[in-house]
């Protein structure tokens, strides 16, 4: 069994006369899954055929399946099952989330809102920092892990525009020199963004690029940096940090800003 559909991943498991094929949508748009089932080639003689389409809110019910195309929502999963399968356990409601999970989901939502922007101002300032985490690696590994430059970019109708680099001393058009890079335990000055991006609404991203010496030079690398935003330098209002739930690329932090013209403020 497999999917005759683009962008749909699938995985087949079979044991004890029971078979499950899991389909996954790794995109942010709904996808139609057109499953192809060659029972003879697989050596399977199904006695029943069911479709399962769980969501974040509920596992749903296993329903009889006729093999026709079905839709997976954004980042959705589904499964086609056949054989003698007891779905009673699968169809039980999800247990209540423990407190630690509720706190994490609240943080994800806060970070999502922060990325969307927290209002408008005639000036927005940003400060970059990198905590000195107590990682039990030898020094050479720690140095290499944090050996990154940070490129500020803007998403435009014509694609990604590279604006320049942010380092400890501020913004520059050319690459940040090694002695100005933000390593673990350091932070940048407060950097004014209006003079970099201008006024208006902006979709920005900060890209982490490994400095390297050989084959990693300027390669996208893990984003460990934290961004703090303020309308007045020194008075941070909110911050963003990397979260798998919100970023599809490990090296990028996306955020929106609305910068007002100075004359619009009485």
pLDDT of the residue at 262: 77
Write out the two tokens for 80: 């086609």
252 C-beta neighbours (distance < 10 Å), count: 16
HEC secondary structure over 162-227: EEEEEECCEEECCCCCHHHCCCCCEECCCEECHHHHCCEEEEEEEEEEECCCCCCCCEECCCCCEE
pLDDT digits (tens, 9 = 90+) for 151-196: 999 999 999 999 999 999 999 999 999 999 999 899 999 999 999 9
pTM above 0.85, yes or no: no
pLDDT of the residue at 5: 59
Write out the two tokens for 247: 């970023």
Instruction: From 118, 23, 133, select the one nearest 76 (Cα to Cα).
Output: 23
Q: In terms of pLDDT, which residue wins out, 70 or 66?
A: 70
Binning pLDDT at 50, 70 and 90, where does residue 36 land? Answer: confident
* Partners of 228 in the β-ladder: 127, 239
Instruction: Provide CATH 2.60.40.1180 ranges for the chain.
Output: 2-82
43 C-beta neighbours (distance < 10 Å), count: 8
Spatial separation of the C-alpha atoms in residues 148 and 8, rounded to whole Å? 34
Fold classification of 2-82 is Immunoglobulin-like (2.60.40)
pLDDT at residue 258 tops 90: yes
pLDDT of the residue at 101: 94
Distances (CA, A) of 107 to 17, 72, 110, 180: 43, 27, 5, 31
Binning pLDDT at 50, 70 and 90, where does residue 84 land? Answer: confident
Write out the two tokens for 19: 């078979």
Among the listed ranges 29-38, 158-167, 195-204, which one has the minimum average pLDDT value?
29-38
pLDDT at residue 30 tops 90: yes
């Amino acid at each position: 069994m497999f999917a005759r559909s683009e962008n749909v991943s699938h995985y087949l498991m079979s044991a004890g006369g029971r078979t499950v094929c899991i389909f996954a949508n790794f995109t942010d748009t709904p996808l139609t899954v057109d499953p192809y089932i060659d029972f003879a080639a697989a050596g399977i003689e199904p006695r029943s055929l069911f479709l399962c389409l769980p969501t974040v809110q509920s596992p749903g019910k296993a329903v009889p399946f006729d093999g026709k195309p079905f839709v997976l929502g954004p980042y959705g999963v589904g499964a086609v099952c056949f054989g003698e399968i007891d779905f009673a356990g699968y169809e039980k409601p999800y247990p209540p989330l423990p407190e630690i999970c509720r706190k994490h989901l609240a943080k994800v939502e806060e970070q999502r809102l922060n990325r969307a922007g927290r209002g408008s101002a005639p000036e927005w300032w940003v400060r970059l920092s990198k905590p000195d985490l107590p990682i039990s690696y030898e020094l050479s590994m720690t140095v290499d892990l944090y050996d990154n430059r940070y490129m500020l970019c803007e998403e435009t109708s014509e694609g990604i525009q590279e604006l320049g680099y942010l380092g400890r001393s501020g913004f520059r058009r050319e690459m940040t020199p090694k002695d100005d890079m933000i390593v673990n335990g350091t932070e940048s000055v407060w950097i004014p963004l209006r003079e970099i991006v201008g006024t208006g609404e902006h979709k920005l991203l900060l890209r982490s690029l490994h400095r390297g010496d050989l084959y990693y030079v300027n390669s996208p690398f893990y984003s460990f940096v934290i961004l703090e935003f303020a309308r007045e330098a020194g008075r941070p209002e909110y911050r963003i940090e990397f979260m798998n739930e919100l970023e599809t690329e490990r090296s990028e932090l996306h955020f929106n800003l609305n910068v007002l013209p100075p004359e619009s403020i009485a």
